[in-house]
């Protein structure tokens, strides 16, 4: 059952592509309309709110004051830190200024996606804007729900844990909830028996690819990547990269644009 008092959520967008919001809007367990209407009280979210321009800015400031100490701040996107944050602004204020004025007043800060958690593509070398994840940029300990995009189930599970039990779920050393990021892709992969039997795909479109063999030799990063994609899958359990025949590119790991590339090995 939904809690009586819906928790206020202020969702900030910084350096990002909105893919995390798009993923969240496709939540099916529960459906997004139930989440938005019955479970959460989303006070500010640039993609789905009616207000625009100065009115939107005022709404955010009013919500932060009204719900100080009570709201959940979800951050999507990385924060530019060089040149006083000049690489990213909204309404004349830098991402850094907005984050500093909102995040410390939240009851909990959740970094949704690899951009907010670890910097993501904005922080890829040579990173001219000095982009960082939220925890690094502000010197705080946000809860990280990485993935590019992450599965909405992982965000919803974290929030529901907080609502029902009054506490955050157990985390690992990168502040990721263990229920979602406790095991590697490789350890949960349905192609694992092919890996153990030395049955590999060496070329896309090959006979081995049709047989669903292991993608390790195409550059699969499943052994180094902690996420629950093989179990929860995307779009309500329809599919996930490896089921679709594509190697895992390690999209939920820190610095994956620098450390997991080249994504394809031949």
CA distance 144 to 133: 10
For every residue of 201-240, which 3-state class applies, written as one string? CCCCCCHHHHCCCECHHHCCCHHHCECCHHHHCECCCCEC
Minimal distance, residue 230 CB to ligand F3S, in Å: 7
Kindly tell me which of 88 and 147 has the beta carbon lying closer to ligand F3S. 147
Residue 2's contacts (CB-CB under 8 Å, 6 or more residues apart) are 34, 38, 39
Q: Which of the choices ligand SF4, ligand F3S, none does residue 156 contact, using the CB cut-off of 5 to 8 A by kind?
A: none
Q: Is 225 in the site for ligand F3S (CB under 6 A)?
A: yes
Binding mask 127-146 for ligand F3S (x = CB under 6 A): --------------------
Instruction: Report the relative pairing of strands 93-94 and 41-45 from DSSP bridges.
Output: unpaired
Q: Is 248 in the site for ligand F3S (CB under 6 A)?
A: yes
Q: Is 120 in the site for ligand F3S (CB under 6 A)?
A: no
Out of 229, 254, 258, 263, point to the residue binding ligand F3S (CB under 6 A).
Answer: 229
Residues 95, 77 contacting (CB under 8 angstroms): yes
Q: Is 24 in the site for ligand F3S (CB under 6 A)?
A: no
Kindly tell me which of 94 and 144 has the beta carbon lying closer to ligand SF4. 144
CA distance 213 to 229: 18
Q: Which of the choices ligand SF4, ligand F3S, none does residue 7 contact, using the CB cut-off of 5 to 8 A by kind?
A: none
Q: Which stretch binds ligand F3S (CB under 6 A): 37-45, 160-168, 169-177, 245-253?
A: 245-253
Residues that bind ligand SF4 (CB under 6 A): 16-17, 19-20, 76-77, 113-115, 120-121, 148-149, 185-186, 189, 191-192, 195, 214-216, 220, 222-223, 242, 248
∠ CA 216-20-43, rounded to 5°: 160
Q: Among all residues, whose Cβ is closest to ligand F3S?
A: 248
Q: In the chain, count H helices and then E strands.
A: 12, 9
Kindly tell me which of 156 and 242 has the beta carbon lying closer to ligand SF4. 242
Residue 62's contacts (CB-CB under 8 Å, 6 or more residues apart) are none
Out of 162, 181, 195, 240, point to the residue binding ligand F3S (CB under 6 A).
Answer: 240
Residues 158, 145 contacting (CB under 8 angstroms): yes
> Under DSSP, is residue 44 helix (H, G, I), strand (E, B) or coil?
strand
Q: Which of the choices ligand F3S, ligand SF4, none does residue 229 contact, using the CB cut-off of 5 to 8 A by kind?
A: ligand F3S
Kindly tell me which of 98 and 189 has the beta carbon lying closer to ligand F3S. 189
- Surface-to-core class of residue 196, CB atoms within 10 Å of its CB (0-12 exposed, 13-18 middle, 19+ buried): exposed
> Under DSSP, is residue 86 helix (H, G, I), strand (E, B) or coil?
coil
CA distance 44 to 144: 20
Out of 79, 227, 243, 266, point to the residue binding ligand F3S (CB under 6 A).
Answer: 227
Q: Which of the choices ligand SF4, ligand F3S, none does residue 93 contact, using the CB cut-off of 5 to 8 A by kind?
A: none
Residues at the contact surface with ligand F3S, assessed by CB under 6 A:
147, 185, 225, 227, 229, 240-242, 248-249, 251-252
């Amino acid at each position: 059952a939904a809690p009586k008092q819906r928790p206020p959520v202020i969702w900030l967008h910084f350096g990002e592509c909105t893919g995390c919001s798009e993923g969240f809007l496709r939540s099916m367990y529960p459906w997004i309309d139930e989440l938005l209407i019955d479970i959460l009280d989303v006070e500010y979210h640039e993609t789905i709110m009616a207000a625009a321009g100065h009115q939107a800015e005022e709404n955010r400031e009013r919500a932060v004051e009204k719900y100080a100490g009570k709201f959940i701040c979800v951050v999507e996107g990385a924060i530019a830190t060089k040149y006083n944050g000049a690489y990213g602004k909204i309404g004349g204020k830098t991402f850094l200024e907005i984050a500093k004025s909102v995040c410390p007043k939240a009851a909990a800060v959740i970094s949704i996606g690899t951009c907010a958690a670890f910097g993501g593509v904005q922080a890829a070398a040579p990173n001219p804007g000095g982009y960082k994840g939220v925890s690094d940029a502000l010197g705080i300990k946000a809860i990280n729900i990485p993935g590019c995009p992450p599965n909405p189930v992982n965000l919803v599970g974290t929030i529901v844990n907080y609502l029902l039990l009054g506490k955050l779920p157990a985390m690992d050393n990168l502040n990721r909830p263990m229920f979602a990021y406790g095991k590697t892709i490789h350890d949960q992969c349905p192609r694992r028996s092919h890996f153990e039997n030395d049955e590999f795909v060496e070329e896309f479109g090959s006979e081995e690819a049709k047989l669903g063999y292991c993608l390790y030799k195409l550059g699969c990063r499943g052994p180094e990547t902690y996420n629950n994609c093989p179990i929860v899958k995307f779009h309500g359990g329809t599919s996930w990269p490896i089921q679709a025949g594509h190697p895992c590119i390690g999209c939920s790991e820190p610095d994956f644009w620098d450390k997991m590339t080249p994504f394809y090995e031949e």
